[in-house]
Structure 1
Amino acid sequence: MSTCLLAGMLAAGCSQPVEDAGWLDYFDPVDSLHVADSVLVRLLPARDSSPNGLWRVPGLGSQGWLRSPADGRRTAEAVMERPPDVDRVPYWPSWALVVGARAGGTVYGAMDFVYVIRAYGADGSWADSIFTAPPSWRQARRPEPGEFANATDAEVRAYFNTFDVITGLAAVSERVLIVAHGRFVYVADHRPNALGRVVGWRTASRATYAISEYVNVYVGGIGVVTDAPAPGEIFGYGPGRVVFGKRGGDRTGYILTEFAWQRPS
Structure 2
Amino acid sequence: EGRAALERRDRVSALQSFDEAKQRIAQVKLIFPLNQEARVLELRINQVSDPDAFNREFARLIAQARTKIDAKQDLQTVYSDLLDLQAIDPKYPGLAALIERLEIQIGLRLPPPDPKALAESRTLTAAAQRVWDARNVSQFNIALTQLNRALELDPNNQTASSLKDRILTYVGGTAVVVLPSAGETLYNEAVTFLQAGDFLSARIRLTRLYETYPQARKVQKVSDLDSRLVARGY
TM-score per shorter chain, which class? under 0.3
Larger radius of gyration: 2
TM-score, reference length from structure 2: 0.26
Bigger relative contact order, structure 1 or 2, given CA contacts below 8 A and separation 6+? Answer: 1
Select the structure that is richer in strand.
1
TM-score, reference length from structure 1: 0.24
Select the structure that is richer in helix.
2
